Amino acid sequence: MPEVGSRVHLVASTWNGPIEVEGVLLSPSAEDYLTIKLVNGYNATYALDSVDEITCLGDIVTPSNDVQTVAVNSHLPLVHILHTGGTIASKVDYSTGAVTARFEPEEIISSVPELLNIARIETRKLGNMWSDDVRPQHWNRMAEAAAISFSEGAQGVVITHGTDTMHISAAALAFAFSGCGGLPGGRIAFTGSQRSSDRGSSDGSENLIAAVHWAAAGPSTTGAGDSTVVVMHAGGDDGSMAVIPGCAARKNHSSKRDAFSSINQPNIGIITVNKGEVVLDLDESYIAASSKLNSRSTESSPTLYDGGVKILQLIAGAHLHADQITHASSHGYSAILFWGTGLGHLPLDNPGDAPENDGVRAAIE
């Protein structure tokens, strides 16, 4: 059996007939099995007794930890990348199949060299967490870190974030800086990756290039939906990234590259990345809205969120009962958010055989 890390060609018997694959041999996921990282980035596992032939194609793949020193153009705008989670740039550990994120500027530029012509990059690691675990204290940490970056001369900030709740964090920071009528001290772009960077279809590099371009060279913030933006793929193909207002962004799909869209208002613009050339095209509606706004003051100290606020979310429907509502009022909840049906309806009327609805009405009143 070839050693872990070797490039191999494997022939195995499956229910659908013989199959041939090539890739890098990983540590097995279970006893009496072997696992291969395929060229497309996916892992495939086969029972040892189904393997008819395995041939070593090359030496063990050892990811290099060497990072080249890069010459930085001091005339380029300064952009800070604040990492909260997800993958900016990464390498594959073939002994485990894991993808390890890189954070240092030299590492990022080594993996995404196009950034070298866009901005001077500095990085700050705020955390490395699943976006599902983000709470108000993490929004505060992001907002404070962004404010510090602007005070240190950064023209823009890119916040790398897990995609599941990235749109929520983008809205939270927009309110932190602009909820009282002010503006952040520079441009704030959220971005992430729908596809892991060890897959050929990964979108992370182009998203990062576009987000850094917005942070470095986008228009000055005006409050026309641009206090924060989400920069992600505009379609399934390479080359086109949407700049979405932070307070209008929504994630509509778990894994599509173009999972994010703007709700009830147009995108701010489209950033095209093509063979090293990066171009921003602003939407006419954004240009018009920005031109009509009076100048706002810069908010150097963002409003922070109270982590002690408790909000109960209840879904309207056949299983909504009065005791769920009274529980909130008797356990110190700050508010109840009802996800209503239709135009926000709740089961409040008793058609003659639904006394539960009377209870819901009484609990609300």
Among left, alpha and beta (phi > 0; psi -120 to 50; other), residue 212 is: alpha
Single out the catalytic residue among 35, 37, 84, 87.
87
Q: Is 163 a catalytic residue?
A: yes
CB burial class (10 A; 0-12, 13-18, 19+) of residue 171? buried
Single out the catalytic residue among 93, 125, 164, 283.
164
C-alpha to C-alpha distance for 265 and 204, rounded to whole angstroms: 25
To which residue do tokens 């029972």 refer? 47
Q: Is 292 a catalytic residue?
A: no
CB 213 within 8 A of CB 277: no
Antiparallel, parallel or unpaired: β 311-315 and 335-339:
parallel
In sequence order, which residues have a C-beta less than 8 Å from that of residue 123 and are 6 or more positions away? Answer: 80, 81, 82, 83, 88, 103, 104, 105, 108
Q: Is 306 a catalytic residue?
A: no
Residue type, 336: I
Q: Is 191 a catalytic residue?
A: no
Which residues are known catalytic residues? Answer: 87, 163-164, 251
